Amino acid sequence: MAFGHGKVILFGEHGVVHGRPALAAALSRGARAEAHPADRPLLEVEPWGVAIEPSADGDDGPGTDNAGLRRAFAALLSGYPEPPQLRVAAELTVPGGAGLGGSAALSVAVVRALDAALGVERGNVEVAELAQRAEKVFHGNPSGVDAAMAAHGGVALFSKARGVRPVRLATALPLVVGYSGEQGSTKKTVASVARQLQRDPGRVEKIFDGMEAIVDNGKLALEAGALEDLGQLMVLNQKLLVALMLSTTRLEEMCRAAIDAGALGAKLTGGGGGGCMIALARDLKAAEHVQAALTAMAPDAFIAEVTP
């Protein structure tokens, strides 16, 4: 079974779209896929219950309403000399539209499933590059961090210029991921930040400077196992995301509830405008406490221990 990782952005989302670094951690959840012989290329995705054929112009075929997915599948198939006569059965194990890199995980799993069936050998960098073609269909102007993390896994610094640079953790990170239940559109929030940057470059570049300093310090704290520092950096990063109008009342309430339940820090993760937040706990027992507090507000909060 082929696999692509979901991810959380620990620090630096949005700045990364504009050339700044971000720190991200891959999740053990994401997407899995398997390819089977067929008479034409097909993609089935669970739990969405969709089965689609590729379409470069995004025409909806009969019985489907998935123009974006059809174009994204066509973008992935553009990496093959001929359309593979394969049916790919894929399953997402993170919620879509939640800032957890579900679409990138799906694309990476699909590419790896096709490659495995066709006997194509492709390294992580090339898998991420191909997945990025589909990411552009889904998200407009993505930085590439999701596709890179989906392919590489682990914990890493990412920037557009330098790609993935793995970070060595001194200790495990007991993270809790909470889903606000509000569908966030990364395409929309990325476009909103781009508009703010155009209108007031001085202000927004200063916010990006702050995020970059948080990323630098976050890397040092990860390498030193300084969980309290990481928690404080998360709180600071969240303030900067609020300044870019990327948070919601619901996300703020969830971050507050996590901290009240003992989390060292909490912030939204990914595109924002809804989607998910993450909280850092001192240890797994404390993480269970935070998870319980979040579950009382929104179901499906889960513990994601990121290990060295």
Q: How far is the CB of 25 from ligand MEV (least distance, A)?
A: 12
How many Cα atoms are found within 13 Å in the side-chain-facing hemisphere of 52?
Answer: 24
Residue 276's Cα: distance from chain center in Å? 10
In the list 2, 17, 214, 241, the residue contacting ligand MEV (rule: CB under 6 A) is 17
Q: How far is the CB of 9 from ligand MEV (least distance, A)?
A: 5
Dist CA 121 CA 108 (whole Å): 14
143 near ligand MEV, judged by CB under 6 A: yes
- Measured from the CB atom, the residue of 159 and 291 that comes closer to ligand MEV is 159
Place of tokens 């059809």: 70
Q: How far is the CB of 24 from ligand MEV (least distance, A)?
A: 8
Dist CA 104 CA 98 (whole Å): 12
State the alpha helices, DSSP H only, in the chain.
67-77, 102-118, 124-139, 145-152, 186-199, 201-224, 227-243, 249-260, 284-297
In the list 146, 230, 279, 291, the residue contacting ligand MEV (rule: CB under 6 A) is 146
271 near ligand MEV, judged by CB under 6 A: yes
212 near ligand MEV, judged by CB under 6 A: no
CA torsion sign for 121, 126, 129, 135 is positive
In the list 74, 98, 128, 145, the residue contacting ligand MEV (rule: CB under 6 A) is 145
Which of positions 67-126 make contact with ligand MEV (CB under 6 A)?
101
Dist CA 275 CA 184 (whole Å): 5
Q: Binding mask 170-209 vs ligand MEV (x if CB under 6 A, - otherwise)?
A: ----------------x---x-------------------
Q: Which residues contact 298 (CB under 8 A, 6 or more apart)?
A: 178, 179, 180, 181, 250, 254
267 near ligand MEV, judged by CB under 6 A: no
Q: Which residues contact 79 (CB under 8 A, 6 or more apart)?
A: 111, 130, 133
Which one of the spans 139-147, 173-181, 200-208, 218-226 is the region binding ligand MEV (CB under 6 A)? Answer: 139-147
Q: Binding mask 37-66 vs ligand MEV (x if CB under 6 A, - otherwise)?
A: ------------------------------
Q: Which residues bind ligand MEV (CB under 6 A)?
A: 9, 13-14, 16-17, 101, 142-143, 145-146, 186, 190, 270-271
